[in-house]
């Protein structure tokens, strides 16, 4: 999936574009299809202080709550 605002590739689990912060429309998913995030951070990620989501190192905003890095 790609951001409709800036064209950046977006993981299916993101709620906001990691580069420009545009809210992403997500298709409806059932609880059994929901994606859960690992509590283990890798060196290529940063953890949001606002919601705790792990984001790619290149992300400028949290894809879970849109907080800046």
- Taking residue 22's Cβ as centre, other Cβ atoms within 10 Å add up to 16
Task: Answer whether 0.75 is exceeded by the pTM.
Answer: no
Number of residues assigned to the chain? 69
- Over residues 10-51, the pLDDT tens digits come to 877 778 888 898 888 765 544 443 334 444 556 788 888 888
**Domain ranges, ordered by start, for the chain:** 1-25+37-69
For residue 33, give the DSSP letter: G
- Would you state the structure tokens that stand for residue 69, as one six-digit string? 């890095």
Contact 13, 33 (CB under 8 A): no
Task: Report how far residue 13's alpha carbon sits from residue 36's, in angstroms, rounded to the nearest whole number.
Answer: 9
Q: Confidence band (pLDDT; 50, 70, 90) for 63?
A: confident
Tell me: pLDDT of 67 over 80: yes
């Amino acid at each position: 999936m790609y951001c409709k605002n800036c064209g950046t590739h977006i993981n299916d689990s993101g709620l906001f574009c990691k580069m420009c912060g545009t809210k992403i429309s997500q298709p409806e998913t059932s609880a059994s299809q929901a994606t859960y995030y690992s509590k283990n951070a890798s060196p290529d990620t940063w953890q949001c202080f606002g919601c705790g989501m792990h984001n790619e190192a290149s992300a400028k905003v949290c894809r879970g709550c849109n907080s800046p890095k």
